[in-house]
Structure 1
Amino acid sequence: MKDKLTLSIEKDVIEFAHQFAKETNQSISSILEKYLMELKEIQDKEYEVSSRVKKLSGFFEDKDFPENKEKMRRIFHEKINNGC
């Protein structure tokens, strides 16, 4: 079911929208609807987390977070190399 939506948009963006709609022979509503549907599809997709990331997930929950990147990398490499 279609419904109405009121938007507040910068004037130059509205002018661009009208020009783009005319050039592509589409309504502004259909352009926005298609764009929002694409965003919804991207959000709805479930991304598979790699097994390596799953193994590292929660690693620092009960520990102090390393103070620098080098120390964090060393800890991660040690964890991975020790069979996690």
Structure 2
Amino acid sequence: MMKSPAEFFADNKNIVGFDNPEKCLYSTVREHVENALDSTKSISELPAVEITIEKIGRSKFNPMIGLGDHERRDEALYDDFKTAKAREVSKQ
């Protein structure tokens, strides 16, 4: 069975630099700056790039991406499959 690109990269986060929070932040910022530079290359002008990094909580982040703030009823349903607990359950 062939995996979709999303499934492949979810399983291989290290390939795209998303296997830990530090690399994830670095990869995201680098990608945005590279995209800004690439998009202005054709007009021979440098982009105005401003980067602000701020740690925010879920209650502030969810409205920014269009999600309402809500509580999960069963947190165990959302456990990462790669956690030890999830691996134990999947073996049974």
Same fold (TM over 0.5): no
Higher relative contact order, chain-length normalized (CA < 8 Å, sep 6+): 1
- TM-score, normalised by the number of residues in structure 2: 0.22
- TM-score, normalised by the number of residues in structure 1: 0.23
- More helix as a share of residues: 1
